Amino acid sequence: MNSFNFMPGSRELEAVLMVSAEPVSLEQISDILDISGPKAEQLLEELAEFYLQSDRGFYIQKVAEGYRYAVLPELAHVMEKIAISQSPPRLSGAALETLAIIAYRQPISRAQIAAIRGVNSDYVIRMLESRGYIEPDARNPVPGTPLYYSTTPMFLEKLGIFSLADLPRVEGFVPGPEFAEALETSLFDGTY
């Protein structure tokens, strides 16, 4: 058994990470444990190092602007068996396409999504919202005030990324700047 001298607050930090259903931000950890941000960060680093040194099946993952426990990638085959037996229905191609449009263009209205996809996306948007991947964001001050949608922290968590800045770049997969500029003008000129 490894001997490790835990800093005061380590057990409490473990409890916070264990019971939280979502990644816990550094600010939340500081508030909950009533310690400074640097002290919380030091606790996280020391606890993460302990887990790595003691050959655990999990680690502290930095994701969706917070921290949570996660299973080591080399144990993915074990988790795959659990996921297969408990997995909700997969997202359809239309849902994935719509989610990608929202992720890269947010905030974006239903009409703008439909213009990009070329089909009505109301059902898909409702489904993505009910699963917690997107949510209404801001309202446009133009007449009719359409709802605008953005992704949620759960979206980041499911992708395993810390923020939207970590989304893969798509420049190599889209048309040239002239086409993009014309599309941008037609989508965001207030006619939708």
Task: Say yes or no to pLDDT of 180 above 70.
Answer: no
Domain 10-75 falls under CATH 3.90.226.10: no
Per-residue pLDDT, averaged over 42-49, amounts to 92
Q: DSSP class of residue 60?
A: E
- Between CA 150 and CA 105 the distance in angstroms is 8
| Secondary structure (DSSP) of 117-146 | HSS--HHHHHHHHHTTSEEEEEE-SSTT--
Average pLDDT taken over every residue of the chain: 84
Whether residue 9 has pLDDT greater than 90: no
- Whether residue 28 contacts residue 68, with contact meaning beta carbons closer than 8 Å, is answered with no
b/e per residue 169-188 (b: at least 16 CB within 10 A): eeeeeeeeeeeeeeeeeebe
Higher-confidence position of 24 and 174: 24
pLDDT in tens, 64-122: 899 999 988 898 888 877 766 665 668 888 999 999 999 999 999 999 999 998 888 89
Query: CA-CA distance, 156 to 153, in Å (whole number)?
Result: 5
Q: Across residues 176-183, what is the average pLDDT?
A: 66
3-state helix, strand, coil in the chain (%, to 5): 55, 15, 35
H or E segment and range at residue 172: none
| pTM of this structure | 0.52
- What residues does CATH 1.10.10.10 cover in the chain? 10-75, 93-187
According to the model, what pLDDT value does residue 27 have? 95
Residues 6+ apart with CB under 8 A from 153: 22, 23, 64, 65
Model confidence at 3: pLDDT above 60: no
| CATH fold for domain 93-187 | Arc Repressor Mutant, subunit A (1.10.10)
Token output for 46: 């020391």
What does the pLDDT look like over 122-137, one tens digit per residue? 999 999 998 899 999 8
